[in-house]
Amino acid sequence: MASSAPEVALRLVDGTYRPGDMLELQAEMRGVDYAEFELHVPANTQCHFVTQTREPVRYVEGVYVQRVLLQLQPLSAGDFELNDITVTIAQGGEVRDVALPTVSFTVATYAAEDRSEAAAELGAGASLLAQASNNLRIIIAVLFIVLMVVWWLLRKVNTKPVKTAEIELGLSDLIVALEGNAPSFPPCEPDERKRRSVGSKSVATLGTLHGGSELTSMMIAEQLLERADLSMSSALRKDLEAAVYANRLNSGVLLQLLREEVQR
């Protein structure tokens, strides 16, 4: 398509209609860029509007295809014209109304019914085709609902938070986690001995935490702040609170404060 502006086409499904039959009016929009549209059909005293169905958006060979199906029921025989049909198109923050051509059709009387065998076979075939089309739409709708439920359940399982191991974490555990993600200063000997003394606990704890090292560091830091029995300097507590609650993590400064705290 040469232009990015979407094109809307309107057509009435061909057929022979009589009073009380269902007519199907289709409005289809195609465009290279995604847009949304609403179909507006003025009320008609001799034609009852039954249902309006919007099909799922399809992307076919680089073009977005959208379709709205409107079912009409003529109340009497005669010639009909549906005038002043418009669509409202919303694209890229802009909204515009587009007028569509007049739709004309004829509703035959029952007195003019063709009772020939060929007409009967044709009517039966059209009825079966319409029934098959309706059944296909129902199947597609059911499959779409099932897929949405499965997607929702999978998303719920994947986003379920992973609980950390019920182990009391200490400052040395946070040092181990930060060293895996941020540039670190050479560890002091007393700090190294203390980390080795809790090494098995740190490995077991960090192995159960979910996500990368930065996420693990945040989780450990939050647990440390929640421990009422853990004593730490005001500078270290302030830096931990900035990392956890304000998302300002300075790994180098935090590592230095942690090592100084462990040496005390």
The DSSP code sequence of 124-169 is HHHHHHHHHHHHHHHHHHHHHHHHHHHHHHHHHHHTSPPPPPS---
CB 40 within 8 A of CB 85: yes
In angstroms, rounded to a whole number, what is the distance separating the alpha carbons of residues 141 and 60? Answer: 19
Q: How many C-beta neighbours within 10 Å does residue 158 have?
A: 7
Q: How many C-beta neighbours within 10 Å does residue 18 have?
A: 14
Identify the CATH assignment for 1-111 out of 3.40.190.10, 2.60.40.10, 3.90.226.10, 2.60.120.10.
2.60.40.10
CB 54 within 8 A of CB 27: no
Give span(s): CATH 2.60.40.10, the chain.
1-111
- Position 29 scores a pLDDT of 93
Q: Angle 81-85-90 (CA atoms, 0-180°, nearest 5)?
A: 165
CB 128 within 8 A of CB 134: no
Give the H/E segment covering residue 106.
strand 103-107
pLDDT tens-digit profile of 13-36?
888 889 989 989 999 999 999 999
Q: Which residues contact 34 (CB under 8 A, 6 or more apart)?
A: 57, 64, 91
- Tell me, what amino acid is at 189? E
- Position 231 scores a pLDDT of 84
pLDDT tens-digit profile of 127-149?
788 888 888 999 999 999 999 99
Q: Could you tell me the pTM of the whole model?
A: 0.39
Which parts of the chain register pLDDT below 70?
1-3, 112-123, 159-168, 181-215
- Position 168 scores a pLDDT of 67
- Position 125 scores a pLDDT of 73
Q: Whose structure tokens read 């007409």?
A: 119
CB 100 within 8 A of CB 86: yes
The Cα diameter of the chain in Å comes to 105
- Position 223 scores a pLDDT of 87
What are the two backbone dihedrals, phi and then psi, of residue 12, each rounded to the nearest 5 degrees? -105, 130
Q: Which residues contact 83 (CB under 8 A, 6 or more apart)?
A: 42, 102
